Structure 1
Amino acid sequence: MFGAMRLFLILLVIQTIAYFALSLYSRSVRRQKLETWWDEKGKSGNKDAFVERGLHVYDNSFRRKLILGVYVVPWVAIGALIYIVNYM
């Protein structure tokens, strides 16, 4: 019992590290795309305000919420494996 709890705790820690790493990476990629788009279009005005508005839109997007799959997918896979092994 304690072995399984320790395994689940380690999995949760690894998932949290992966979630933060993916979040930071995804946000930096979005920032780079916004800055590149600004430079290619030759826009005038405040570039930093444009990038911040774009990142705010990104923070509320569905794509950002998909990163939460880092938590959901492994637990569903573990549950499915347990069910298949024990009941099929």
Structure 2
Amino acid sequence: MFALLQLLVVGFVVLTVVYVALSIWSRRVRRAKLINEWNDEGRIGDQDAFVQDGLQEYDESLRRKLILGVYVVPIVVIGTIIYLTNFY
């Protein structure tokens, strides 16, 4: 039982680190794309407001929510492996 608890705690910590790193990376990529879009289109006005509006849309997007799969996929895979190992 202690081994399972240890696996869950370590796994949660590792997945949290991966989730945070992936979230930061994805947000930086989106910010860079918004800045490039601003520069390519030769817009006039406030670039920071354009980028902030784009990032706000990104925060509400499906892509942002799909990053939570970092938690779901490994849990499903480990659960499936444990089930198949014990019951088949």
Give the shorter-chain TM-score range.
over 0.9
List per-residue Cα deviations over 1:2-59 (Å, max 9, x = no partner). 1221111000000001110000000000000000010011000000000000000000
RMSD between aligned residues: 0.6
SS in 2 for 1:44: coil
Question: Which runs of 5 or more residues in structure 2 are unaligned?
Answer: none
Structure 1 unaligned regions, length at least 5? none
Q: Residue 10 of structure 2 corresponds to which residue in structure 1? A: 10
Instruction: Tell me which stretches of 4 or more aligned residues in structure 1 moved more than 6 Å.
Output: none
CA distance in 2, matches of 1:62, 1:76: 21
Q: Please list, as runs of the form range in 1=range in 2, the aligned pairs for 1:1-88 lying within 5 A after superposition.
A: 1-88=1-88
**Partner Cα separation in structure 2 for residue 70 and residue 45 of structure 1:** 38
Aligned length: 88
Rounded to whole Å, the distance in 2 between the matches of 1:65 and 1:4 is 28
Q: How far, CA to CA, are the matches of 2:72 and 2:3 in structure 1?
A: 21
What CA distance in whole angstroms lies between the structure 2 residues aligned with 1:24 and 1:54?
15
TM-score when scaled to structure 1?
0.97
SS of corresponding position for 1:16: helix
The TM-score normalised by the length of structure 2 is 0.97
In 2: Cα distance, 1:46 partner to 1:57 partner: 17
